[in-house]
């Protein structure tokens, strides 16, 4: 098997689990769910943070990586704990017989 250099035209597929932007969007899932659950608009949050509604939308879609400290600032505006918004890996439950 011969290994060759990739040309600019070659497409390289990156698994979603390894893609940093998708990982960042996944980290914002708890914040997104919090806004929906409490009927808080993304436009309101954007105005409070001093950024555009489109920027918030791009963060949640995963097309743009939020700046460092975004989650902390959003939690401060919403008056909630940052720890509540951190994504945790689900644990596997074992059945005890």
Say which CATH architecture domain 17-85 belongs to. Orthogonal Bundle (1.10)
pLDDT for the residue 67: 81
The answer, yes or no, to whether residue 12 has pLDDT greater than 70, is: no
Please list, residue by residue across 55-71, b when 16 or more beta carbons sit within 10 angstroms of its beta carbon and e when fewer do: ebeebbebebebeeebb
- 29-79 per-position pLDDT tens digit: 888 889 999 999 999 999 999 999 999 999 888 888 888 788 889 999 999
Q: What is the pLDDT of residue 14?
A: 46
């Amino acid at each position: 098997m011969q290994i060759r250099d990739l040309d600019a035209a070659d497409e390289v597929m990156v698994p979603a689990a390894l893609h940093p932007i998708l990982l960042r969007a996944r980290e914002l899932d708890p914040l997104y769910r919090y806004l929906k659950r409490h009927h808080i608009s993304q436009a309101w949050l954007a105005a409070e943070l001093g950024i555009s509604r489109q920027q918030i939308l791009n963060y949640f879609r995963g097309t743009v990586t939020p700046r460092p400290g975004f989650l902390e600032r959003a939690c401060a505006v919403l008056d909630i704990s940052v720890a509540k918004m951190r994504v945790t890996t689900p644990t596997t439950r074992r059945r005890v017989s």
